[in-house]
């Protein structure tokens, strides 16, 4: 992984974080679940450490890969959402090599519109960073 990619990932992550004050944490992971970049809201106390987040990423990506066989019937996954008592966790595949994982405040009522109208377009605008 080159520094250029890491710098680009950091730029994209920071731009996504600025979209909504309800965004807590953003990570870019490769297809093996390795966290390549992590950005978090200023002053945020994390609920899980890096090792736990990497394990979560690995499991989330594995779940996504297990569902690929249904794409011809269901279409491609746009994002998956897990809503927990303390936060919402979202995984969105960028391409076959990269994923964005993020957390939002559980009280956020507009998760879908933030994802579909702001975050996913931001990823598409910066897709050249992920090729």
Domains of the chain: 3-130 (3.30.450.30)
Residue 130: CA count within 13 A, CB half-sphere: 25
Residue 4 scores a pLDDT above 70: no
Local structure of residue 63 (DSSP, 8 states): H
DSSP reduced 3-state for 79: coil
pLDDT tens profile 7-39 = 899 999 999 999 999 999 999 999 999 999 999
Question: Residue 95's pLDDT is what?
Answer: 92
Give the list of residues 6+ apart from residue 54 with CB closer than 8 angstroms, or none: 33, 34, 35
Q: Is the pTM of this model over 0.85?
A: yes
Q: When comparing pLDDT for 5 and 112, which is higher?
A: 112
Which pLDDT band, with edges at 50, 70 and 90, does 2 fall under? very low
Q: pLDDT > 90: what percent of the chain?
A: 83
């Amino acid at each position: 992984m080159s520094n250029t990619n890491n710098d680009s990932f950091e730029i994209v992550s920071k731009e996504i974080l600025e979209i909504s004050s309800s965004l807590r944490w953003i990570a870019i992971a490769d297809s093996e679940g390795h966290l390549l970049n992590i950005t978090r809201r200023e002053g945020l106390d994390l609920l899980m450490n890096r090792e736990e987040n990497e394990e979560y990423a690995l499991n989330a990506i594995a779940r996504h890969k297990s569902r690929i066989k249904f794409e011809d019937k269901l279409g491609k996954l746009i994002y998956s959402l897990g809503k927990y008592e303390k936060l919402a966790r979202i995984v969105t595949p960028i391409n076959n090599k990269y994923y964005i994982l993020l957390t939002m405040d559980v009280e956020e009522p507009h998760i879908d519109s933030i994802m579909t109208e702001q975050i996913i377009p931001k990823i598409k605008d910066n897709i050249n960073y992920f090729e």
